[in-house]
Amino acid sequence: MTHPHSTVPNRSPNDNNARAARQEFTAFVLMTVLLCAAPLVAYPVFVMKALCFALFACAFNLLVGYVGLLSFGHAMFLGSAGYVSAHAAKVWGLPPELAILAGTASATLLGLGVGLLAIRRQGIYFSMTTLAFAQMVYFLALELPFTHGEDGIQAVPRGKFLGFFDLTNEMNLYIFVLAIFLGAFLFIRRIINSPFGEVLKAIRENERRAISLGYKVDQYKIMAFVLSAALAGLAGATKDIVFQLASLTDVHFAASGEVVLMTLLGGMGTLFGPVVGAFVIVATENYFAEVGDWVSIIQGVIFVICVLAFRKGVVGVIAEKLGWSL
Amino acid sequence: MLHLIGISSQALFGQLLIGLINGSFYALLSLGLAVIFGMLNIVNFAHGAFYMMGAFCSYFLLQYAGLNYWWALVLSPLAVGVFGMIMQRFLLQRLAALDPIYGLLLTFGLALIIQGLFRQHYGASGLPYPIPAQLTGARNLGFMILPNYRAWVILASLTICLATWYAIERTKLGAYLRAATENPTMVQAFGINVPRMITLTYGFGVALAAFAGVMAAPIYNVSPQMGAELIIVVFAVVVIGGMGSIMGSIVTGFALGIVEGLTKVFYPEASNTIVFVVMAIVLLIRPSGLFGRSA
């Protein structure tokens, strides 16, 4: 796969790293300012939905953009974590932080199980395997009693974060979601820039060489898969606390396709791409919601255009134009 | 003996029959996927959409041209196959040098467009398609009642599957095809037009999907989403069988249909998920698939 790299000649690696870090920091500050101002101009609920999907796409991108593994079933982590956190908050009466933790933990476990099996196949088979497992999770969600089938888990209480921060207040909720998103985003950046992340990129570029250098490639892949699943779960759990609803939509394979589209449109293997992609796709969905079937047609068209002519994505192209690392 | 465990032979053979019918579709679809994967090295996500187009095509032929099922059985795969070839020529071919993931993404996008357009025009609910007059009715086999149309579906798809296997594994054309799969540059050097062969192969795989769609039309309703969920099960079938072998996809397709049917008899709650459970087990024991060479 082609990934955008900004290599500046005649500079020492340390210089390059420092430059890249400065550029990423600038972009991060810009993003944070925009997100803090966003609820003043847009509906907070819309921005929160976009933030949850942005986190979901970032988690997905960790796998496809930095390890080269295209999972076509990431909705299983989004959806299952949503169900568990909704169940925990509503039936067990847990406070939101514990409910979200429970959801994230369940997605982590599911990620470990599926990851152990799925990484046994490579390339295109990996994608098909993850898709099939996601479909299995979908059928389980349809049939298990605690998910309430077509109805989903409704009227999930938002509760008070740590017992005093009232999440029923929309502004508080927005701060809560934004904090989770920014925290997770920085965590993902930390993973990518760590020695562990460097090995992941080495596997993406040349798996055989990584093996011959003595890296236990499978362990790295599983670790990345579990991290990605956990973060996708965090997104799903947060989303269901915000919308007070866990439903089949989030485990359906259409959601798996959407996250692929968000990442592809924003730029696979770029730090900020998935965020941009998620905001664009959620906005188009909101805009075209009344005309129903056009949403999937438009998404299909975006897919085709991105794959044929725009493989670097929005952020990939911007990064290339500026010579920045984003 | 069967009634001792609380299952009537009617129910058992009835579900086995449904399993075989589903297996026919799995086999035809996974066979098409395997043929396309062999030549183009892409997984055709639009396969479910082509299956649906095959069914719609026969519906159109009947409604607007008055051409019956038997015409549809020939004309629909041809029409959809030509459509597939045009798509391959103008879109997929541009991705030939890239990572196969892009082929998957492109065909996924095309499936979204095709299914969305059909849903836009014909709604989500199904349109009925009649069973051809020659195949209505049923015969009593003593232990079960066998509807003629269903017997025909199993026979026809088995015949097409075996004919495809014969054509690829035992004829000269098939030898060219297999050679081009192994080493396209070399085959091209021998003066064979490999790009045209790739286009025709894609068209053939698509036509197989459309053929399955025509046969499915009288059993299920003709609906825009009929291929969307099916293709995921077929992907699982492909992971179980491995795409390396033509006969492998046929056997796996039918076998999983039967396994699914039996599950409906003995443990109906798991009938939706059994194929995926089998997939998990196969991944544990034989990661490259039952008939696959290691990827």
pLDDT tens for A175-184 read: 999 999 999 9
pLDDT score recorded for residue A167 = 86
Q: What is the pLDDT of residue A198?
A: 94
Give, in degrees to the nearest 5, the angle at Cα A251 between B108 and B230.
50
Between CA A226 and CA A238 the distance in angstroms is: 18
Taking CA–CA distances from B244, the nearest residue in chain A reads A125
Say yes or no for a CB contact (<8 Å) between B287 and A70: no
Between A1-5, A169-173, B51-55, the lowest mean confidence (pLDDT) is in A1-5
From chain A, pick out residues whose CB is under 8 angstroms from the CB of B232. 131-132, 135, 253
**pLDDT recorded at residue A7:** 47
Pick the closest to residue B40 from B32, B48, B28 (CA basis).
B32
- CATH code that applies to domain B15-119+132-139+148-285: 1.10.3470
Residues of chain A with a CB closer than 8 angstroms to some CB in chain B: 1-2, 70, 72, 117-118, 120-125, 127-129, 131-133, 135-136, 139-140, 142-143, 253, 257, 260, 264, 293-297, 299-304, 306-308, 311
Predicted local confidence at residue A31, as pLDDT: 95
Tell me what the mean pLDDT of segment A254-266 comes to. Answer: 95
Task: Give the chain B residue nearest A292 (alpha carbons).
Answer: B120
Q: Which residue among B91, B114, B272 places its CB closest to the CB of A308?
A: B91
Instruction: Enumerate the residues of chain A whose CB falls inside 8 A of the CB of residue B115.
Output: 296
Residue B139: the pLDDT is 86
The whole-number pLDDT of residue A326 equals 83
Question: Where would I find the H helices in chain A?
Answer: 13-41, 44-64, 75-90, 96-118, 123-143, 170-193, 195-205, 207-212, 217-243, 253-266, 273-287, 294-309, 313-322
Per-residue confidence (pLDDT) for residue A155, from 0 to 100: 86
Rounded mean pLDDT of chain A?
91
pLDDT of residue A6 exceeding 60: no
What CA–CA distance (Å, rounded) separates A180 from A174?
A: 10
Contacts of A70 in chain B (CB under 8 A): 101, 104
Here the tokens at position A14 are 């340390």
**Residue A11 has what pLDDT?**
56
Most B CBs within 10 A among A2, A281, A307, A308, hence the mutation to make, goes to A307
Contact residues for B87 (Cβ-Cβ < 8 A; gap 6+): B46, B110
Classify each residue of B212-231 as buried b or exposed e, where b means 16 or more C-beta atoms within 10 Å of its C-beta: bbbbbbbbeebbbbbbbbbb
Of A122, A142, A301, the CB nearest to B295: A122
Residue-level pLDDT at A10: 55
Report pLDDT for B50.
Answer: 97
Nearest to A130 by CA among A85, A61, A77, A207: A77
Contacts of B109 in chain A (CB under 8 A): 299-304, 307
User: What local confidence, expressed as pLDDT, does residue A258 receive?
Assistant: 94
Contact A128 B101 (CB under 8 A): no
- The ipTM of this complex is 0.88
Stretch A106-125: mean pLDDT: 92
**Cβ(A231)–Cβ(A53) below 8 Å:** no
- Rounded CA separation A159/A153 (Å): 16
pLDDT tens, position by position, A199-256 = 999 999 999 999 999 999 999 999 999 999 999 999 999 999 999 999 999 999 999 9
Taking an 8 Å cut-off on Cβ atoms, the answer to whether B279 and A129 are in contact is: yes
More confident residue, A191 or B288: A191
Beta A165-166 vs A160-161: how paired, if at all? antiparallel
Give the pairing of strands B138-140 and A160-161.
Answer: unpaired
pLDDT at B283: 86
Residue-wise pLDDT tens digits, B142-182:
778 889 999 999 999 999 999 999 999 999 999 998 898 88
Residue B293: per-residue pLDDT? 65
Query: According to the per-residue pLDDT averaged within each range, which of A3-12, A138-147, A269-278 is highest?
Result: A269-278
Phi-psi region of B153 (alpha: psi -120 to 50; beta: other; left: phi over 0): alpha
Percent of chain A scoring above 70 in pLDDT:
96
* A260 → chain B, closest CA residue: B105
Contact B104 A127 (CB under 8 A): yes
Helix (H) or strand (E) holding B97: none
To test the contact with chain A by mutation, choose from B41, B110, B112, B252 the residue with the greatest count of A C-beta atoms within 10 A, namely B112
The C-alpha of A174 sits at a distance from chain B's nearest C-alpha, in angstroms, of: 33
Scanning every residue of chain B, which has its alpha carbon at the shortest distance from the alpha carbon of A71?
B101
Q: Which ranges of chain B have pLDDT less than 50?
A: 295
- Contact state of B95 with A308 under an 8 Å Cβ cutoff: yes
Q: What pLDDT score does A293 carry?
A: 75
pLDDT at B5: 67
